[in-house]
Structure 1
Amino acid sequence: MSFPTELIELVEFLHHENPQIRAVAAQHLVGFSASSHPQNGIFRNDSFRPIKDLKVLICNALRPDQLSRKTAHDSLTCLVNLSTDPLVRSMLIDEGFLKLLMGFITSRAQGLADMFCMLLSNMAKSDDILKIMEVTMSPVEGVSSSTKAMDQLMDVFVKGAEKKLNQWANYDFLGNFFSDMTRFPQGRKYFLEKQEYDGVLPLSKVVVFTTHGSLIRRTGVASTIKNCCFDTSMHMGLLADEAANGVDILPFILLPLMGPEEYDDEDMDGMPDECQLLGDDKRRESDDGVMVALLDALLLLTTTRPARDLLRARKVYPIIREMHKAVEKEEVQAACERVVDILMREETNEGEEQEAHIVEESDEEDGQMIEV
């Protein structure tokens, strides 16, 4: 594809020696970076030289002057948009660039931290993102005592919610990153094993956000929970309470699915304490995608007999029964029906596992690409 001479010159200005010219070029190229722009391919020009230039220009985020920060913002916006392209993602995922992103994300003074989280989230659509599992950094005072990149990202996500670490960032988009990391066995292993630096299962840190006010955060966490449930060997550990070194995940899955319904004594007998007597003001999760992800997590838990028995004993059926009556979207109703069908089915052979492929495990990324 041929491009206008003026546009070719514009991308070449990204590596001009004059910082003001670089700033103007980055600003004018933001619109071209959208995946829907017909001339988006200009960033592949000269063997992807514009991408290499943008990687350099985001380092301006380290500088205090307004021109540098604006250049970094526009360059980062371009990279977030362009990272929907698999070829661009392959150019971004290397140890050096991952460490650069980590430094920006974990800095409590970084005004663009959330945008860097968006970029990392898009990069996680590539299988190469597993490289981050091996990345180590220096501990960050007041943020994380761990040297592992994954631990540091977990700490900023948990501690930084609602701008508690960084006045300019809430780190919600890291939920999408975690969701995509748990597509891989290595990612699930990380979330389901106690980490050396604090002795805590990472999944137990994020499940508390299933009722958080941010839809972005809830979406990422719900998908992370669902993906972790693909590990059938961990089902009873997920369902066990903290006293038994478990995650006690059931209340965090069920609470968002519940409304103000009242249950009789028989239905409540065995129901998690957190799910009882919720009151007239209890509101059910409003997002269909989050509800389906949580229902799929329950469905995955039914693939092992001990977990099915526990779900029945904890009165999951009446909760999903009432939910089915209240929801209107066919997709959500169908997800409810799949769970109910398994829980109400008679067990045939003792210890026999479900043979049906209840929820297909997929290598496809979770969630949507992020553009600015």
Structure 2
Amino acid sequence: MLRAGAHAQCTRSRDRTPRRRDARGGETLSPDGAGTGRRLQASCPSMDEVQARELLGFLHLDTRPDLKGQATGYILGLTGNVEGRTLLAGRPDFLEALLLLTGDRSLAVVKDSYHSLINLSVAVATHEVLAKELPVLLHRLLDPGYAFADQVCTLLSNLSREEGTCRQVFQAVQEEGLGLAWVVEAFCTEGYNKKAALHYLGPLLSNLTQLPETREFLLDRSRCVVQRLLPYTQYEASAIRRGGVIGTLRNCCFEYKYHEWLLGAEVDLLPFLLLPLAGPEEFPEAEMERLPVDLQYLPQDKQREKDPDIRKMLLEAVMLLTATKAGRQLVKEKGTYLVVRELHQWETEPDVQAACEKLIQVLIGDEPEPGMENLLEVKIPEDVEERLQHLDREEERQQGQQETQSKGPGAQMGSSGLSR
């Protein structure tokens, strides 16, 4: 059952996080280019104020290119582990210097600077400084000829994960005269930027739908925006773009006043959510006719969505559409139970299995009592809510134990740095 007080959250599946970069060791540089002989190991960073000022001295546009390249390369190495990111996240002067160098003449320096900022932007402590450059970043993002638009897009995706900075991104989009319409246009236009794929516009949109203003824009019936996003639920070229769109649609489903419209003929959202979950199973004729036309008589080589995080988001979106009585009726009439039942038998990921089971309970269970038909508005007593949260934590703990056991005795914990 959906809990009272549930709200749209930004997408945090593993494909949204920048890859961890290998740490590099390096020699500190002096203004004349000679090494000082001291080694600052990026794998175990420590930097006193003298060393910090020395390194900052090379992070200027007019610094000799080779020295500047070594300095930005070293900083990129530092950002490849937790200790290095913690060290730099508390230094606004380094963040400002890296932002400045994204306008450097050297493409290598610009690239390293962006990648360092992407890694550092995982830390909330960096957001206040980085948010000051939102107008510049947004104009670069939507410049069809900007070569580093992908890096800007990834950086903005990280910044928009937290609600506070997300609102700043939204306001900057509006104030710069760009508007969400421009962001959607760039996302939906194939080849908008010949030098950048802009796949991370998907997670950026998903994060922005934390905000009710974004959801209202996307669901405005006069704009026909949400319909433009639907084909990307099957976008095979990028799981990042595909997952971002599905996260966006899931968050929009929190707006239950639009459910009947979303499930109706004008949008017909349900088949776009169910098709990625469907396999090649054959059903008896009577059951087949209950399914939407797009899900009938699928080919024998039909594959389900490969990413378990995306499968879970799809199930969560369908679950949200069952929050109202009218929504539940429409979802049930379309044979949703048949698709979810087969998915549950096929599924191997514990958390996705759990999502299947919760949805099945709603699909085959009795209707709620009068006055409780809208599951998103049901007020749960505090003691019951605490017990439910405890059960959720216990369920997550058990799932974690199952995953650890399934990896076998030789399994080891992954790196503590940024991971894919």
Q: Normalising to structure 1: TM-score of the pair?
A: 0.82
Counterpart contact for 2:322–2:328, Cα < 8 Å: yes
Correspondent of 1:85 among 115, 123, 140 = 123
Among 129, 137, 148, the residue aligned to 2:166: 129
Q: Look up the SS of the partner of 1:291 in the other structure.
A: helix
Confirm or deny: 8 A CA contact 1:3 1:39 kept in the other structure.
Answer: no
Cα–Cα, structure 1 residues 131 and 202, in superposed 2: closer, same or farther, change >3 Å? farther
Structure 2 CA distance for aligned equivalents of residues 301 and 157 of structure 1: 25
Residues of 2 paired with 1:209 and 1:39: CA distance?
Answer: 34
Question: Residue 366 of structure 1 corresponds to which residue in structure 2?
Answer: none
The 3 A distance-change label for structure 1 pair 182 and 43 is closer
The residue that corresponds to 1:154 in the other structure is: 184
How far apart are residue 30 of structure 1 and its match?
0.9
**Equivalent residue, structure 2, for 1:330:** 350
Partner Cα distance (2:419, 2:144) in 1: 24
Taking the TM superposition and a 5 Å limit, the aligned residue runs for 1:149-188 are 149-160=179-190, 164-188=191-215
Residue 112 of structure 1 and its aligned partner are, at CA, apart by: 1.2
Q: How far apart, in 1, do the equivalents of 2:135 and 2:85 lie?
A: 31
Structure 2 unaligned blocks of 5 or more: 1-44, 390-416
2:54 paired residue number:
9
116-125 vs 215-224, which deviates more? 215-224
* Higher Cα radius of gyration: 2
1:216-270 C-alpha deviation (Å, 9 max, x unpaired)? 112212211111111111111211122xxxx211111000000101122221223
Q: What secondary structure, in the 3-state scheme, does the structure 2 residue paired with 1:280 have?
A: coil
Indicate how the Cα distance of structure 1 residues 371 and 186 shifts in structure 2: closer, same or farther if over 3 A, else same.
farther
In structure 2, what is the Cα distance between the partners aligned to 1:202 and 1:284?
26
- Matches of 1:201 and 1:80 in 2, distance apart? 33
**Which residue of the other structure, out of 139, 151, 166, is the alignment partner of 1:103?**
139
Q: 2:304 is matched with which residue: 272, 284, 293?
A: 284
The verdict on how the C-alpha distance between 1:165 and 1:16 changes in structure 2, with shifts beyond 3 A counting, is closer
SS at match of 1:14: coil
Tell me the residue number matched to 1:353.
374
The aligned counterpart of 1:63 is none
- Name which of 340, 344, 347 aligns with 2:364: 344
Structure 1 pair 165/24, CA: closer, same or farther in 2 (3 Å)?
same
Question: Distance in 2 between the 1:51 and 1:91 partners?
Answer: 7
Which residue of structure 1 aligns with residue 403 of structure 2? none
Q: Alignment length, in residue pairs?
A: 336
Distance, in Å, in 2 between the alignment partners of 1:241 and 1:356 is 32
Quote how far apart the aligned CAs of 1:9 are: 0.9
Look up the match of 2:263.
Answer: 239
Distance 1:265 1:251 in 2: 19
Aligned-partner Cα distance in 2 for 1:2–1:335: 44
1:294 and 1:128 mapped to 2: Cα distance? 26
For residues 295-334 of structure 1, the aligned pairs below 5 Å read 295-334=315-354
After superposition, the CA RMSD in angstroms is: 2.8
Q: Deviations over 1:184-229 (max 9, x none)?
A: 22222222125xxxx5333222221111111111221221111111
Pairs within 5 Å for 1:24-43 = 24-38=70-84, 40-42=86-88
> Normalising by structure 2, what TM-score?
0.73
Q: Deviations over 1:304-354 (max 9, x none)?
A: 000000011111111111111221222222111111111111225467333
1:258-314 CA-to-partner distances (Å, cap 9, x unmatched) read: 010112222122321111111111111111111111101111111100000001111
CA distance in 2, matches of 1:9, 1:105: 32
Q: What is the aligned partner in structure 1 of residue 6 from structure 2?
A: none
CA displacement 1:10-51 (0-9 Å, x = unmatched): 133213632524333222211112342447414534xx1111
Cα distance in 2 between the residues matched to 1:83 and 1:93: 10
Aligned partner of 1:72 in structure 2 is 110
Kindly provide the CA deviation profile for residues 167-198 of structure 1, in whole angstroms up to 9, marking residues without a partner as x: 3321111111111111222222222125xxxx
Maintained 8 Å contact 1:268/1:276 = yes
The answer on whether the counterparts of 1:132 and 1:150 sit within 8 Å (CA) in structure 2 is: no
Which structure has more relative contact order (CA 8 Å, sep 6+)? It is: 2
Conservation of the 8 A alpha-carbon contact between 1:11 and 1:29: no
Moved more, 48-57 or 102-111: 102-111
Counterpart residue type for residue 79 of structure 1: L
Q: Which region of structure 1 is more displaced relative to structure 2, 253-262 or 267-276? A: 267-276
